[in-house]
């Protein structure tokens, strides 16, 4: 069985080794994930719990365990909009760690911010090298997208990426299988909302209500770091969660 390459081996050599991996009986149907709006009696999104049950054996992570008083805080970083430094300041002041999912372009354009993420104890997640829809990639292209970003982050910031977030939330059982064979968990979310349009930001009061009203055990929150609204309310949201006994951490 193919195992995740040891960091430090050049990506070209690893890609050659990857050619020997054969993934059998893995469906190629593209699935566009979203947690939906239906929740169970514990306020946990049914879309997330159903997906967790269906895909966890393939390394898919959509939601944590029921009864787990923990919230996993994650940020997607497609590009920089001037908010990440303030987000890091808030997390540092609150003593909270988070996971930042980055691409190559983000890392190359904002090395000081990525270095700060690593230095301040946050996890850096793999959002692929160039942000493609992963089901559209061949096996070799998939590997290249993941390992090139992994290699770049290690070479430049000295940390490994250990979890993968698929762009647009698009996946197939083949891509889950490939990621698992590479030693990755594919991390989705149990909460996300329309926060990414920089020219159409949600009202802070409404966003705060939406985010806090969705609180549930084992929640995986996806927030986009380009959002000025998210940045403005983040400290208050963390206080809300903590007041209700939740630990906030990276995944």
pTM of the model: 0.91
φ/ψ of 191, rounded to 5, equals -145, 130
Catalytic residue among 86, 224, 236, 239: 224
CA distance 106 to 52: 29
Q: What is the pLDDT of residue 185?
A: 98
Contacts of 84 (CB under 8 A, 6+ apart): 75, 77, 100, 110, 113, 225
For residue 239, indicate whether it is catalytic.
Answer: no
pLDDT digit string (tens) for 203-215?
999 999 999 999 9
Q: What is the CA radius of gyration of the chain?
A: 18
pLDDT digit string (tens) for 61-101?
999 999 999 999 999 999 999 999 999 999 999 999 999 99
Catalytic residue among 40, 42, 76, 105: 76
Q: Evaluate if residue 26 carries a pLDDT over 60.
A: no
For residue 224, indicate whether it is catalytic.
Answer: yes
Residue 12's pLDDT band, with cuts at 50, 70 and 90, is: low
Q: What is the mean pLDDT of the chain?
A: 92
């Amino acid at each position: 069985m193919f195992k995740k390459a040891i960091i430090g081996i050049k990506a070209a050599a690893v890609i050659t080794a990857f050619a020997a991996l054969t993934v059998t009986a893995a469906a190629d149907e593209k699935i566009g994930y979203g947690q939906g709006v239906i929740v169970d009696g514990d306020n946990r999104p049914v879309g997330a719990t159903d997906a967790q049950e269906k895909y966890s054996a393939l390394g898919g992570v959509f939601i944590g365990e029921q009864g787990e008083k923990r919230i996993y805080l994650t940020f997607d970083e497609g590009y920089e909009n001037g908010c990440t430094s303030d987000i890091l300041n808030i997390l540092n002041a609150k003593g909270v760690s988070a996971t930042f999912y980055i691409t190559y372009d983000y890392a190359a354009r904002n090395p000081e911010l990525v270095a700060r993420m690593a230095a301040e104890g946050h996890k850096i997640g793999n959002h692929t090298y160039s942000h493609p829809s992963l089901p559209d990639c061949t096996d070799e292209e998939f590997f290249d997208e993941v390992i090139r970003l992994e290699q770049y982050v290690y070479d430049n910031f000295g940390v490994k990426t250990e979890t993968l977030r698929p762009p647009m939330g698009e996946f197939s059982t083949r891509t889950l299988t490939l990621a698992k064979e590479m030693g990755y968990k594919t991390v989705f979310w149990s909460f996300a909302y329309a926060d990414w349009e920089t020219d159409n930001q949600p009202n802070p009061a409404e966003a705060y209500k939406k985010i806090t009203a969705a609180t549930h055990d084992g929640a995986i929150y996806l927030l986009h770091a380009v959002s000025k609204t998210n940045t403005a309310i983040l400290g208050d949201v963390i206080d809300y969660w903590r007041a209700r006994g939740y630990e906030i951490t990276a995944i």
